[in-house]
Amino acid sequence: GESVGLHLPTLSVQEGDNSIINCAYSNSASDYFIWYKQESGKGPQFIIDIRSNMDKRQGQRVTVLLNKTVKHLSLQIAATQPGDSAVYFCAERGNFNKFYFGSGTKLNVKP
């Protein structure tokens, strides 16, 4: 399947600061991307998505940026809270609506 990778495996931030999690993808034909949050022992939880015809999308406290030129995604979390501590994955849609996941970034929020 497609290769989706991350630059930073672990990120520690202070509560209240902004967090930026990065992801690189390899398939320039991918048309849809999703960020998921996974807490320990649970399945991934949808955070935000973006289509390839957009370069930015905002949600509540989260923003996803897509740079197709360099095949790069980022997730920005504003005013990071302890409840944001989890592992974050980007996922890339391939053929037949299959999603392939990046290696993940563990976010630690220090109180």
Partner 1 sequence: GAVVSQHPSWVICKSGTSVKIECRSLDFQATTMFWYRQFPKQSLMLMATSNEGSKATYEQGVEKDKFLINHASLTLSTLTVTSAHPEDSSFYICSASPRQGTSPLHFGNGTRLTVT
Applying CB under 8 A, which residues contact partner 1?
Answer: 1, 31-32, 34, 36, 41-46, 49, 51, 89, 91, 93, 96-104
Q: What's the CA gap between 102 and 104, in Å, rounded?
A: 6
Residues pairing with 99 in the sheet: 93
- Choice between 14 and 98, CB closer to partner 1: 98
Residues pairing with 87 in the sheet: 38, 106
Q: Tell me the helices (H) and strands (E) count for the chain, helix number first.
A: 0, 11
Smallest separation, CB 99 to partner 1 (Å): 6
Smallest separation, CB 53 to partner 1 (Å): 10
- Choice between 54 and 79, CB closer to partner 1: 54
Smallest separation, CB 12 to partner 1 (Å): 16
Antiparallel, parallel or unpaired: β 99-101 and 86-93: antiparallel
